[in-house]
């Protein structure tokens, strides 16, 4: 679906009519990580279907709400659930909320997701700070005419995730005395989980974890010049030689059990950010 050029601004204007809070941070909560929103002092809440041009979230574990409020004394816009290419949405639609939250004022983005761990030392429930990404969705939200007022035609992606934010998140894990990895996130189209051969391929490409989201959002954010923190929760361990079956509900349950770790890391970064 092709969105109008002013889609993000139209949605932002509709939000401002009900709430004048200008967020400093945009936060995207992935599968099973919605409970983090319970920590937000909510000023306004919007169901996605209330907002112009927003798709509907149909994925398991995604509430489908945008919250405006405060977290750790910072003004935030929180997506409680996101949009995926496998749901049938276009890359531009999956990236729309990032542009809306930027239009509202956010200049930093925290993206979280549930992912399959590819490293043998990973365990279910471990967080991973994302230091880089591989776009194996082969879709890009910047395809089409470029709006030069938002960002350059050819944005640099040599450092998509902010190193300072990542180090602050790692320090929070050290202080909390829980394991945390650093690695590369591979974005897959889905909705099928990967085969043994695909897991071997991903390892060979240098991926540390794989999932079905995040990549279009990060591309859109960097195009806008936003600083990005990315954290995956390892919800299943993908060993090609001992591969068990995985269900969507198991992923949600595993992410829910690790939400406290994510909260500690995200809030540490939000508190420290200038």
What 3-state class would DSSP assign to 107? coil
Q: Which residues pair with 234 in a beta bridge?
A: 115
Q: How many helices (H) and strands (E) does the chain have?
A: 7, 9
Torsions phi, psi of 19, nearest 5?
Answer: -155, 130
On whether 164 is known to bind a ligand per the annotation, the reply is: no
Tell whether residue 43 is among the known ligand binding residues.
no
The closest of 151, 130, 107, 114 to 235, measured between CA atoms, is 114
Q: What is the largest CA-CA distance in the chain?
A: 55
Tell whether residue 200 is among the known ligand binding residues.
Answer: no
Q: Is 102 annotated as ligand-binding?
A: no
Do the annotations mark residue 213 as ligand-binding? yes
Cβ-based neighbour number of residue 171 at 10 Å: 15
Q: What angle do CA 259, 263, 269 make, to 5 degrees?
A: 145
- Known binding residue 186? Answer is no
Give yes or no for a contact between 223 and 151, defined as CB atoms under 8 angstroms apart: yes
**84 assigned to a ligand binding site:** yes
d(CA 172, CA 116): 22
Percent helix, strand, coil in the chain (nearest 5)? 35, 25, 40
Q: Residue 272 annotated as binding?
A: no
CA-CA-CA-CA torsion sign (247, 91, 262, 130):
positive
* Residue 82 is assigned to a ligand binding site: yes
Q: For residues 5 and 146, give the distance between their C-alpha atoms in angstroms, rounded to a whole number.
A: 10
Binding site for a purine D-ribonucleoside, residues? 194, 236
Binding site for phosphate, residues? 31, 62, 82-84, 114, 213
Binding site, residues? 31, 62, 82-84, 114, 194, 213, 236
């Amino acid at each position: 679906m092709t969105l109008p050029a002013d889609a993000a601004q139209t949605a932002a204007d509709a939000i401002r009519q009900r709430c004048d809070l200008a967020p400093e941070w945009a936060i995207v909560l992935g599968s099973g990580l919605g409970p983090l929103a319970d920590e937000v002092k909510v000023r306004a809440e919007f169901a996605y279907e209330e907002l112009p041009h927003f798709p509907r979230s149909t994925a398991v574990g995604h509430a489908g709400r945008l919250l405006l409020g405060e977290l750790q004394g910072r003004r935030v816009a929180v997506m409680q659930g996101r949009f995926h290419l496998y749901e049938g949405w276009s890359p531009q639609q999956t990236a729309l909320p990032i542009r809306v939250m930027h239009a509202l004022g956010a200049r930093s983005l925290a993206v979280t997701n549930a992912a399959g761990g590819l490293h043998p030392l990973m365990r279910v429930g471990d967080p991973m700070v994302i230091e880089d990404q591989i776009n194996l969705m082969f879709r890009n939200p910047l395809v089409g005419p470029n709006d030069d007022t938002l960002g350059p035609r050819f944005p640099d992606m040599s450092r998509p995730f902010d190193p300072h934010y990542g180090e602050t998140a790692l320090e929070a894990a050290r202080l909390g005395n829980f394991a945390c990895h650093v690695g590369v996130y591979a974005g897959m189209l889905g909705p099928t989980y990967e085969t043994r051969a695909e897991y071997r391929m991903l390892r060979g490409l240098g991926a540390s974890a794989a999932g079905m989201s995040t990549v279009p959002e990060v591309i859109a954010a960097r195009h806008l010049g936003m600083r990005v923190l990315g954290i995956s929760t390892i919800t299943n361990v993908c060993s090609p030689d001992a591969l068990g079956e995985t269900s969507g509900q198991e992923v949600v349950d595993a992410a829910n059990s690790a939400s406290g770790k994510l909260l500690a890391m995200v809030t540490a970064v939000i508190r420290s950010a200038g």
